[in-house]
Amino acid sequence: MDIQSIKNRFGIIGNSPALNHALNTAVQVANTDLSVLIVGESGVGKEVFSMIIHALSPRKHNPFIAVNCGAIPEGTIDSELFGHEKGSFTGAVDSRKGYFETVNGGTIFLDEIGEMPLGTQARLLRVLETGEFIRVGSSKVQKTDVRVIAATNRDLLEYTQDGDFRQDLYYRLSTVPIRVPALRDRKEDVPLLFRKFAADFAERYKTQSVQLDPAAQQMLTNYYWQGNVRELKNIAEQISVLSTDKQITADVLQRFLPQRNTTRSLALIGQGGSSSIGSGGSNADFNTERDILYKLFFDLKKDMNDLKQMIYDVAHHQGYTPVEPSSNTLMPVYNESDSSGTASYNINTPILLDSNDHHEDVEETLLLADREKEFITKALKKHKSRRRDAATELGISERTLYRKIKEYDINE
């Protein structure tokens, strides 16, 4: 079966070289029983690739099941995958078959494999190496013939270095890796996808299909699709339902794009669309670092305001008199409306002088790096060194957090 036939069968749209390469790899490996690791960001369509591999394999007439490892609680995932015996734990009122038993002869797709607990990883490794498993609460070894396809949006190799993922399991799963490209790495496919989604929603909602003018199409193409195809589809549906004008301009499109990226998209249009945004992770790191810098600035401003209020209260309590500063006294403050993050100066901030006009200047050096290190340390302590949770609270990627920990030599 050629690539175009596969695209038509599974509803895949696009002609980028990276996408075609991933599809070719899936076709080549489908006829084998090798384990496959599908790597890609959330929303790129990793599950579709697992379905392609199963549909083109000798197992195509046998069961296929997709399991989201991140959606199953840690305490029950072993039971879900391998089954359990009656009375093996509280609530086990009957014996139950697991997925590896019910899908015998077929294919299991383990999505978000990086979320799987270490204990379950050891059980999975045994299945991959010997085809054997044991139900929870049992001592009887059972056999199964299941092909495993795994997927992740994480850097599993980095996880192995942190001890969060078994290295032997990683190499066993990644016999054949397939990397599904992010949408920003296949920009030429964005207009095609949007037109397809717009046509589908027009048919579903019995309305006229929306059309993009050239400026709107360029904005859509240069947008940093953090949610990939899933995000593009959501945007297309919003525009199809909510826009009264079916000819979409850049101004109309801007209202539907999340504000975090709109400024970036407009800047790219001003540069004639030339950008390295699709070249890799450097721009993603830039975005996440910028976000944490803004957060630090806002928190710093709040701390300064609290400090000024405290000094003001103490001054009144001790008999000091607040006076207006001279015109050459400037206090730097962060301006929230200035997205560039530069400092402005407020000459109306009062300084405190005592009744004898003797004053003491207190100068505190606030280094941004120190503040960043402090926030990261607090987040790690709060979440007991769980980097994933700490990164989520800080609003940065785990990769960026890992790099910052090494940069600041933070002892976890």
**Domain boundaries of the chain, sorted by first residue:** 3-181, 187-270, 281-412
Dihedral angle at the C-alpha atoms of 228, 234, 237, 242, nearest 10 degrees?
Answer: -130
Question: For the chain, what percent of residues have pLDDT higher than 90?
Answer: 56
pLDDT tens for 104-121 read 999 999 999 999 999 999
Higher-scoring residue by pLDDT: 141, 327: 141
Smallest Cα–Cα separation from 374: which of 334, 410, 407? 410
pLDDT at site 148 = 97
Rounded to 5 degrees, what angle do the CA atoms 106, 110, 114 make?
155
Domain covering 3-181: architecture: 3-Layer(aba) Sandwich (3.40)
Residue 218 pLDDT > 70: yes
pLDDT, tens digit, for every residue of 225-237?
999 999 999 999 9
pLDDT for 403 equals: 80
The number of helices, as runs of H, and strands, as runs of E, in the chain is: 17, 13
- Please say if the pLDDT value at position 366 is more than 90: no
104 Cβ contact partners less than 8 Å away, ≥ 6 residues apart: 144, 145, 146
Site of tokens 């001592």: 139
For strand 147-152 and strand 107-111, is the pairing parallel, antiparallel, or unpaired?
parallel
* Residue 269 exposed, middle or buried by CB count within 10 Å (0-12, 13-18, 19+): middle
The pLDDT value given to residue 321: 53
Residue 98, both tokens = 């697991």
| Token couple for 368 | 């941004």
Cα-based angle 392, 395, 398 (whole degrees, multiple of 5)? 60
pLDDT of residue 294: 55
Q: What is the mean pLDDT of residues 19-43?
A: 95
Average pLDDT over residues 373-393: 84
Longest dimension (CA), the chain: 93
- CB atoms < 10 A from the CB of 48, how many? 17
How many Cα neighbours within 13 Å face the side chain of 278?
22
Residue 150: its H or E element: strand 147-152
Topology of the domain comprising 187-270: Helicase, Ruva Protein; domain 3 (1.10.8)
Instruction: Please determine whether the domains at 3-181 and 187-270 fall in the same fold group of CATH.
Output: no
Q: What is the pTM of this model?
A: 0.63
For residue 14, pLDDT over 60 is answered with: yes
Element (H, E) at 190: helix 190-204
Position 92: which residue type?
A
Which one-letter DSSP state was computed for residue 163?
A: T
Q: pLDDT grade, residue 406 (50/70/90)?
A: confident
Name the pLDDT band for 313 (thresholds 50, 70, 90): low
Tokens of 364: 């505190």
